[in-house]
Structure 1
Amino acid sequence: MRTRTTMAAITGVGLLALVATACGSTGGDSTSGESGSGKAAGTPAAATALPVESTARKATWTDQSTAHQLTLAPKRLARGTAAALDHVQLDEDLTGMVPYYLTVTYTNTGSAALAQPDPEANFTVTLADGTPGKATSLWNSNPLATATSSYLPENCDQAGPASVAPAATATVCQLVLLPKGHTPATVAYADDSGKTLLWKVGDGTGDDDRGRLLAAGTTADSTYQDVTTKSGTVPIRVTPKSVRAGSLNDLGDYDLSDTQKNLVPWYVTFEYRNAGTEKLLPSMDDGVGLRTAAGREVQPTPLFDLRAAEGQGIDQCRGSVPHTRLEPNSTLTLCTVHLLPAGDRPAMVSFTGEGKGAKTLMWHAR
């Protein structure tokens, strides 16, 4: 069971607090922003609030084996500065990331009190390409500190409640680290019932990762190579044609696991043009990937038809696969099936080519 203490500074999974030093120590003024060097001794600038949806939704939070019913929503999302982490020793993979303070409210709509509740731990913040933030814990890095850290948003300098009575409401704060230079797109809650709840940050579009995230439907150049090619990689042109939700009934003839039977199929269709001089096997769909608005990486799901030795695809996700190989200057469409939790949706689709120098292309999913 997690022990909660006053939050006067920042640390968490992958972060080690310097116990003798509080993040809010007095000293020279620091306005280093996201590019904070980690050496400044002053008080970091106050966090900047971002617009975020705040519609309350029904949710489930599980304490050990007991499911509790809640309503919850983001209340505030604020972007801090890298200088706020100046007095915290970061793991190498977290160095240079920017702190976001996500304040959420939740109401206990069940009949039993919640003991040591932490539904805030199920929240995260994601970028437009589905990259999830690194959600961390908050606790006091200076046990002797009594002053509130003025740069922290309200509720982010204090512990969450030890218990929440039926019909009572709590407000708590979660720290999420994201790469600098980006605008988040979504706040997500991984519901303990298996579904996903989403709220938009601003207009929900985020940014294009400095041009790396292409607009939906944009054609881009790639390369492909298979066991039949003789002259190395073959240039191809790749175009995402559609990303759409299906129904689990579409997969009624396939052998699904119990977990898969609670998911929603999404169909991703790409068009491939052979821009080279050699024929290619029609297996480009092996390079398709997808990330969701809640930060999940979801690869294509292989489907095994119960009625035949080999699956022949489904009507809702069928492309113009040639009988043999893809001829030069010809096109084909291939469709892949990705199973997502209810409530989640694709944020980004990708294609990774084959052969030396092949890169990953990424597109907005809508």
Structure 2
Amino acid sequence: MGVGLGGGEVRGHGCGSDAASQGSRPQQTAAQCPMNRAWREVMQDRLHDIVRKLLGEGTIEYFIGYGAGSEPHRVVPCFVTSDHEVERLVWGPLCLQNLSKYVLQAKDLEGKAGVLVKGCDTRAIVELLKQHQIEREEVVVIGVACQGQVDPRTLEEVLGVPMEQVQGVEDAGDQFVVTIGEDERTVAKEQVLLGKCLYCRHPSAFEYDFTLGEIVPFSIDAGESEFAMVEELERLSVEERRAFWQKQFARCIRCNACREVCYACYCKECIFDRKMPRWLDKPPLLSENEIYHLIRAVHLAGRCIDCRECERVCPMNLPLSRLYKKVQKDIAELFDYEAGIELDEVPPLVSFELDDQDPFM
């Protein structure tokens, strides 16, 4: 069980209400939507109260959340270790990062950690628990109801101004209110949401100890499948698909940002870093890049939660989510499995059933 925003007990694991689990939900106006500036500040204050209490009682040694960056439009991961640092924690539509990666990296530190997670991030926590990478009693999870996060690159294109001029972004139901200097501009959500948010089926955390808000989240009726971008490629011939991916992989500079940000890349030594045997040459040649990305895709089969952090941090804007979404689609069709949902569900590639499909045998 967990503790809700109003102080009552709420369910600590599950997929939420019917409204939260459906693919299409009713849109809300700014007046109807509780996730405006005032409500965000209430949630933020509640977050401060919970973290301050957890630190004060010694329940946790540090808390991983979001904090203001070096510029008004930037929100960065924030580690809090004492009461007087709690006010640094923020929440809003620019809290993009999946913080579960930091829980994994900090597991060797002394003491219990606390972490703030969105619904999509919860899936990473569930998978890390299932893969025995973290222990449930070693982390306190605070879930937050999320109505979608802004894609900074798309926002720049829509507004026609660089993000450096953006002073703030507030959620106003079916639109965002963007502050640019002394002016405020509104933009429809469906224009600037992160791609993953357009099809989000898990907007509220479902594995938590405390939760902030249980609002009906905003949803876009995209009118197409969440696998539409994969199905578009599947309709191409093999030669056309290969040409598409060769064009993308040729642009890769192999900076490893996708690997470093991925919650599921937790090997102590990555095979790509080994010198004996050497799997890849260092220069980012097309042949080497193909091997790198295809091996990563296979390694993430049954574990990718579609957080799209890899695509967000890619300096070359590679459409990596298309590759991993294809693997998700195959896993769903072959094994009826979705990563990061049920704690007691065994991942398909680490189990065996007599009726498993085996057309490759």
What's the TM-score once normalised by structure 1's chain length? Answer: 0.24
What's the TM-score once normalised by structure 2's chain length? Answer: 0.24
**Which has more radius of gyration?**
1
Structure with greater proportional helix content: 2
Q: Say which structure, 1 or 2, has more relative contact order (CA 8 Å, 6+ apart).
A: 2
